[in-house]
Amino acid sequence: MQEPPSSTPEGSLIDPEVHVESFRQAREARRLELVEDYVELIADLIGDGGEARQVDIAARLGVAQPTVAKMLKRLAEDGLVQQRPYRGVFLTASGEALAAQSRERHRIVERFLCALGVSPETARRDAEGIEHHVSAETLDAFRRFADGRSNA
């Protein structure tokens, strides 16, 4: 069941080796989703209140505190955050870099959806998931569109 030339009836399917690239990219993006959301949220909490506590992270993510504790340990192992026991968590240089990048992309995606005519509430909700699957090229298209709409 491969059919390189052209003999099959319906043709909604592309080449398997091309098809698999999309799924691989989506899986990779899914793998990074949580990390990006965490560092972005930590950066926001520090910027807003000077510190990022587990309870606040847990409340905003909608998960239990031990879930946050476990993830912070992993982020620390990955060199993205530095945590002091029974204290808040802080971003390392690479953590800050990833946070800044994630936040900027998030901002652009949300602004783009609004520019397209989506309500602010829906734009906020959908952007939280969409942001992680937007490539540099698509992000550029989003940015251009949103800029064009606000200037016009």
Partner DNA sequence: GCATAAGTATAGCTATTGCTATATTCGACT
Partner DNA sequence: AGTCGAATATAGCAATAGCTATACTTATGC
Selected binder of a second copy within 31, 32, 47, 101 (CB under 8 A): 47
Site for DNA in 35-94 (CB under 7 A): 53-55, 62-67, 69-72, 74, 83, 85-88
Q: How far is the CB of 43 from DNA (least distance, A)?
A: 16
Residue 106 interacts with Mn ion (CB under 5 A)?
yes
Q: How far from 85 is each of 53, 60, 88, CA to CA, in Å?
A: 11, 21, 8
Q: What are phi and psi of 85, to 5 degrees?
A: -55, 135
> For a second copy, which is the closer residue by CB, 50 or 85?
50
> For a second copy, which is the closer residue by CB, 82 or 135?
135
| Longest CA pairwise span in the chain (Å) | 66
Q: What whole-number distance in Å separates Cα of residue 72 and Cα of residue 76? A: 6
Do residues 17 and 7 make contact, with C-beta atoms less than 8 angstroms apart?
no
x/- letters, 62..101, toward a second copy (CB under 8 A): x---------------------------------------
